[in-house]
Amino acid sequence: MNINQLLMAQHREAERLFEKLEEAQPEQRDELATTLAQKLELHMELEEEIVYPAICDLIEDSDSDVAEAKAEHALARQGIAQLLALDGETPGFDGLVAMLKAGVLHHVEEEEEEVLPNLAEAATHEQLEELARLCEERILAAGAEPPSDPDTATREELYEKAKEQDVEGRSGMSKDELAAALERG
Ligand SMILES: [Fe+2]
Ligand SMILES: [Fe+2]
């Protein structure tokens, strides 16, 4: 697994959690909001501590992109703090979720369309894998589970993920088809 695969898997997971949160009953919202907040915080820490410094080292003139990314993380943190302070049954919860989601999706789009492709171009294959390894260590140290590696996961593991994500037609899919369906998110 390389760093871009790892970060993009985390982006897809965050998007799924936003969708769940939007569809959840009011009494389920607090728990989902807490899970989403933890995942986003850990993801942002990985980027700030491991990925963005590597980008600054490897890519000339990347300082302003990284500064913008950090400013967007700060905005996301404000939204997360507001969300956690609000009871899931309070009117306005929906609106706050929509605002936070829009901000996070905007940031994710910039990362996936500019920042990560630039990194992939500037770094060697080994460097991209090493960054992923550092992130995985950090995820494990936080007591969380790193995203599964699509290259080495078994069909059974992929099937379990597909079940979690309600992938249609999963039972008839081969390992490669499951991996492709999961990647599409
Ligand atoms: Fe980010
Ligand atoms: Fe990200």
- The overall average pLDDT reported for the chain is 94
Residue 91 C-alpha to ligand 2 middle, in angstroms? 29
Neighbours of ion ligand 1 (CB under 5 A): 47
Residue 69 C-alpha to ligand 1 middle, in angstroms? 6
Average pLDDT of the segment spanning 18-42: 96
Residue 169 C-alpha to ligand 1 middle, in angstroms? 33
List, for residues 97-134, the tens digit of each pLDDT value: 999 999 999 999 999 999 999 999 999 999 999 999 99
Residue 111 C-alpha to ligand 2 middle, in angstroms? 6
Residue 108 C-alpha to ligand 1 middle, in angstroms? 6
Residue 183 pLDDT: 79
List, for residues 33-63, the tens digit of each pLDDT value: 999 999 999 999 999 999 999 999 999 999 9
Strands (E), the chain: none
Q: Which ligand is nearest to the CA of 66?
A: 1
Helices 93-110 and 26-46, interaxial angle, to 10°?
A: 30
Q: Grade residue 158 by pLDDT with cuts at 50, 70 and 90.
A: confident
Nearest-angstrom CA–CA distance, 38 and 149:
21
Question: How much is the pTM?
Answer: 0.85
